[in-house]
Amino acid sequence: MSAARRIIAISGGVGGAKLAQGLAAELDPGELLVVANTGDDFEHLGLRICPDLDTLMYTLAGLADPARGWGLAGESWHCMEALGALGGPDWFRLGDRDLATHLQRGALLRAGLSLSEATARLATALGVRHAIVPMSDAPVRTLVDTDRGTFTFQEYFVRERCEPPVRGVRFDNAAAARPAPALRDWLAGSPQPVVVICPSNPWLSVDPVLAVPGLRERLAALPVVAVSPIVGGRALKGPAAKMMAELGLPVSALEVARHYRGLARAFVIDRADEDQAGAIGALGM
Ligand code: FO1
């Protein structure tokens, strides 16, 4: 059965997953494709860690921990405690049940499945009804240049607690990436999809997706609506506001709209930022 309408939602982790969850509640499975940032992924303890994919998967399955937003509700941490006692790296907390996801993902990848295929298997097993895909099956790694050196995303975000002042963000290996097959199909198929950029960090969570060669241009040809992650000069979640200030940018919804100029045709702001609507409209949104 072909869908009457199709929405592509581009999302990072916790903040974006909330909007993806809302869209999933409103749309039939064939009507929504959730595209996850995989720039945050890394190899850790011999495992392929895909935080944004997993956050989306757990959220849409109704299994995410409501307080943290990431990981599973009702999680136990025996493995991390044992690892710490052995002097192992326990700064990145993988719960016992979350570890099962990682073990199974590793097994699927070693059996030759792509990250898209492995994600589909895991999501289906968890009861997710809507499609979640990585932006690309090839690894792209977000690198954060700071005053204290260059860090991979999770080193910056979790181990360094976003403390080092950010000077720039890069996406290693992006040039070699291609959009995931399902995303390519949706972009080429009909009816023409509407694209929703979730309220994720534009620089850390959305830009890695847009760095996949050709993707920004393909998306810009479609109706794109972006949702501001900045409300009243503060980030809904995470280090977006701190980072914007460190990059010398005004911390405002308007500045996020400027970031999406030429891509988004509509921009959703909170009533608290109503005074910026005129300036955002002047950007052509
Ligand atoms: N975030 C933390 O702040 N501390 C953690 O130890 C941590 C572990 C973790 C494990 C699995 C996972 O899927 C997510 C995890 N996150 C953790 C969240 C993650 O760092 C962020 O949600 C994203 O990468 C930012 O979008």
Q: Which residues make Cβ contacts (< 8 Å) with residue 182, sequence separation at least 6?
A: 33, 116, 131, 133
Specify the ligand 1 atom closest to the Cα of 51.
13
Atom of ligand 1 lying closest to residue 55 CA: 13
What does the alpha-carbon distance between residue 48 and residue 186 come to, in Å, rounded to a whole number? 26
pLDDT of residue 4: 86
Asked if the model's pLDDT at residue 152 lies above 90, the reply is yes
What pLDDT, on the 0 to 100 scale, is given for residue 32? 98
- Ligand 1 centre to CA of 195 (Å) is 26
Percentage, residues of the chain above pLDDT 70: 99
User: Predicted confidence band at 3 (pLDDT cuts at 50, 70, 90)?
Assistant: confident
Residue 55 CA to ligand 1 center (angstroms) comes to 8
Residue 43 tokens read as 């190899």
Q: Identity (one letter) of the amino acid at 127?
A: G
Q: What is the pLDDT of residue 237?
A: 86
Tell me the CA–centroid distance for residue 12 and ligand 1, in Å.
11
One-letter amino acid at 226 equals: A
Separation of CA 248 from chain center: 24
Tell which one of 34, 54, 58, 92 to mutate to probe ligand 1, the residue whose CB is within 8 A of the most ligand atoms.
92
For the cut 70, the answer to whether the pLDDT of residue 108 exceeds it is yes
Tokens encoding 216: 């920004």
Residue nearest to atom 25 of ligand 1 (CA): 13
Other residues' Cβ atoms within 10 Å of the Cβ of residue 180: 25
Split at pLDDT 50, 70, 90, the class of 72 is: very high
φ, ψ of residue 271 to 5 degrees: the values are -55, -30
CB 271 within 8 A of CB 228: no
Mean pLDDT over 26-50 rounds to 97
What is the CB < 6 Å shell around ligand 1? 12-14, 40, 51-52, 54-55, 70-71, 92-94, 98, 154, 157-158, 205
Q: pTM for this structure?
A: 0.97
- Residue with CA closest to ligand 1 atom 4: 158
Q: Which long-range contacts (CB under 8 A, 24 or more apart) does 24-32 make?
A: 24/60, 24/129, 24/130, 27/130, 28/3, 29/129, 29/130, 29/131, 30/1, 30/2, 30/3, 30/6, 31/3, 31/4, 31/5, 31/6, 31/7, 32/6, 32/7, 32/130, 32/131
pLDDT of residue 149: 97
- Find where tokens 């009909």 sit: 190
Nearest CA to ligand 1 atom 9: 93
Contacts of 100 (CB under 8 A, 6+ apart): none
**Residue 193 alpha carbon to ligand 1 centre in Å:** 30
- C-alpha of residue 94 to centroid of ligand 1, in Å: 9
Q: Does 1 have pLDDT greater than 70? A: no
Atom of ligand 1 nearest to the CA of 200: 26
Helix/strand/coil for 166: strand
Ligand 1 atom nearest to 58, measured from its CA: 13
d(CA 258, ligand 1 centre) in Å = 28
2 pLDDT band (50/70/90 cuts)? low
pLDDT at residue 79 greater than cutoff 70:
yes
The upper half-sphere exposure of residue 68, i.e. CA atoms within 13 Å in the direction of its Cβ, equals 16
Degrees to nearest 5, angle at CA 46 with 104 and 18: 60
